[in-house]
Structure 1
């Protein structure tokens, strides 16, 4: 039986769950760019994701899936400009992007990823 390793366990969720060779991350929201442009918030979040991947011995070329929630679909092109420059060409994950009301009105987006180790 494969072990399940939970990291950053809180009452409602874990920051990260590792099962076998797959890492399931909770959603990432802006930390240093709250209230700034979509470009800055996207850079902030992708930087957090990249750091988390490095910490578990993975990297962005090993992303399997990404889900992106945008506060407003009018942000789609601006977010994609940053996303497209960040992802590894030819190694892009399966992805969904939807409009959604977010927990904090100053968040322009939230991104959740699943990665291989």
Structure 2
């Protein structure tokens, strides 16, 4: 089975595609000066791009994991999430507080999608 790597960087790929499955790496904001809502919106835009490159979309997300540097940012994160979310196709989701690799990151999001 062939594995396709999307948006490869020095240490990781933005996503890996195997068969009809897409595995997203943890995505962080390009602009870490944004607040949690802004960082979330930026990350979700990046996820849209990766999913499109893989041949799918947010409507086909199976699960999402959201990591917040400060759980009190959940409301701000949810504001961006709610604007972006396909209400007819909500993925399973977990949200946890975690110490992120860069202190300027407020949000990191990963997930798994299917290619129809």
- TM-score normalized with structure 2 length: 0.90
2:111 is aligned to: 113
1:4 is aligned to: 3
2:96 is aligned to: 98
Give the number of equivalent residue pairs.
115
2:17 is aligned to: 18
2:42 is aligned to: 44
**Structure 2 residue runs without a partner (length 5+):** none
Separation (CA, whole Å) in 1 of partners of 2:77 and 2:7: 28
Once the two structures are TM-superposed, the CA of residue 9 in structure 1 deviates from its matched residue by: 4.8
Superposed CA offset, 1:48-103 (max 9, x none): 00111111211110111111000000001110111011110120111111000001
Contact conserved, 2:15 with 2:50, CA < 8 A, in 1? no
Separation (CA, whole Å) in 2 of partners of 1:10 and 1:35: 22
Separation (CA, whole Å) in 2 of partners of 1:67 and 1:96: 5
Q: RMSD of the TM alignment (CA)?
A: 1.5
Pick which of 48-57 and 95-104 moved more.
48-57
Separation (CA, whole Å) in 2 of partners of 1:19 and 1:76: 32
Once the two structures are TM-superposed, the CA of residue 10 in structure 1 deviates from its matched residue by: 5.6
Separation (CA, whole Å) in 1 of partners of 2:58 and 2:40: 15
**Structure 1 residue runs without a partner (length 5+):** none
3-state SS, counterpart of residue 27 of structure 2: coil
Moved over 2 A (4+): 2-15
